[in-house]
Every structure is written in C-alpha cells, then in structure tokens.
A = this chain, B = another copy of it.
Amino acid sequence: MTEASMRIEDAAAIRELPLFRNVEQGVFARLIDAGFLQRFPPGVVLIQESDRADFLHVVVEGTAELFAGTGGRETTIELVRPVGLFILAAVLRDQVYLQSARTLERSLILMLPAESVRATLEADPAFMRAVVMELAGDYRRTIRDLKNLKLRNGAERLANWLIRAELEQGATGAVEIPVEKRTLAARLGMTPENLSRAFATLTEYGVRTKGARVEFTDRLALLAYAKPDPLVDLPD
C-alpha cells in the first residue's frame, strides 16, 4: 500500500468485509498492497461516469455519493458509507462507469486497481465466490430500489426510508438524517421542495422534524401509512 498507512482497525474492517473475508491471506495482502489509500476533502469527484473503470473504491471513512445525469438532469443513485465499496460491476467487466462518485465529507478511500481486482478473481476461488454473492446482492438491492420508485409516491418512499433509518440507528424513535436534505431528496427520486412537502404530509402520521433530526410520535400510524414490504425495504 502506498500514499498512506492504514490504521489497524481499518485494515481489519476491510478484511472482514464479506467480499474479502474468505480470501487467502497472501492473495489479500497482494491486492491491498497494489492499492492506494487516500484522504479526500468534501466535494471531490472520485470517478466520473463514462470513464473506463480504473479502480475499485472502498470507503474506509466518510461518505461517497454515487450519482448520474443525462440531458442536464442529475440524480443520486446510492450513498456509500464505511465500510462499503463501489463499483464492482464496472471493474469486473472492464467497462465504463455508469455512475459518478463524489465525497460528501472528508473521506478516506482505498483504491484497488481494476487489473489487480480481476487478477485476484483468477487467483482465489474464494474471492470469485464472494464476488458472485456481492454482485447478486447489488443487483437485488437495485431491483428493490426500482420497485420502490415505480410503485410508491414520494411521501411513501420517505416514510419507508425513515422507518428503515430509524431501525438502523437503533430504534430510538428518532432519526438523524446523515446527509443534506437535497441529497436525500435526490436519493428518493424527488426535488428538495417535494421532500419538504413529503415531510409535511407525514406530519399527519406523527413525524416531527427539527433540522436533520426526525422524531416519530406515532409509530403505528406511520407504519400503517408506509406499508413497508420486506421485498422492497428489508436488506437481504
């Protein structure tokens, strides 16, 4: 590894990713060694759609936003936080990225050369198996997202996002929105103005907002409105 040394905890966290957990130690060391660990300030574009995929990126600290545009419009596809990676599919197929990525805050990113990743695929069947599972999971998450988008209106998408976030944050009856609201709006497929309106709609179901903090005063009412569906909202 060049550019910077990794903290022990970071190295361990990467090693424990499903993608790398069962990779043979020597193979893993070689892959990591080919990589760069780099710190970026907020707002830096890490990859650009239409560029040939050159690195598999691992978010070690911070947040990366995957976004894409066409015809002058732009939207957010996904938010990647530690420890997560992007974009495996483009790297493996040696094709162009379909999404761009930027840092939303000061972030530490591990960059693994595409060629090394593909070499690792051939070097270790355990890695290939893990890649299969990872890609299948990526596909399924995207299908869920597509269903969410095609089958629900904005307020319903927000309600289900809140329910999921509250669970992930410890089921305390409150949610801290971890990004700017306009980013959340784009992630949910709407404009910032529309997100505000969606929050207003959810007031009726016990949703109270104070800045980035959202509280539930009537979970049952919110659940009844959101109608969460395990085939759309739950992780695998």
- Which residues of A line the B interface, CB within 8 A? 49-50, 68-71, 73-75, 77, 88-90, 92-93, 95-96, 98-99, 121, 125, 128-129, 131-133, 135-140, 142-147, 149-152, 156, 189, 227, 229-232, 236
In the bound complex, residues from chain B placing their C-beta under 8 Å from that of A151 are 68-71, 73-75
Give the docked Cα–Cα distance between A146 and B137 (Å).
16
CB distance from A156 to the nearest CB of B (A): 8
Number of copies of this kind of chain in the complex = 2
- B236 adjacent to A93 (CB under 8 Å): yes
- B149 adjacent to A150 (CB under 8 Å): yes
27 CB < 8 A contacts A-B:
A50-B230, A68-B143, A71-B227, A74-B151, A75-B147, A75-B151, A77-B143, A77-B146, A89-B135, A89-B136, A92-B133, A93-B133, A93-B136, A93-B140, A96-B231, A98-B143, A98-B231, A99-B143, A121-B129, A125-B128, A128-B129, A142-B146, A145-B146, A146-B149, A149-B149, A149-B189, A150-B189
Known contacts: A132-B121, A137-B93, A231-B50. The answer to whether A98 contacts B147 by CB under 8 A is yes
- A77 adjacent to B133 (CB under 8 Å): no
In the bound complex, residues from chain B placing their C-beta under 8 Å from that of A133 are 92-93
CB distance from A90 to the nearest CB of B (A): 7
Q: Which residue of B lies closest to A230 (CB)?
A: B50
Q: Which residue of B lies closest to A145 (CB)?
A: B146
Q: Tell me whether chain A's interface is mostly helix, strand or loop, or mixed.
A: helix
CB distance from A76 to the nearest CB of B (A): 9
CB distance from A153 to the nearest CB of B (A): 10
In the bound complex, residues from chain B placing their C-beta under 8 Å from that of A150 are 75, 149, 189
Q: Which residue of B lies closest to A148 (CB)?
A: B70
Give the docked Cα–Cα distance between A73 and B137 (Å).
25
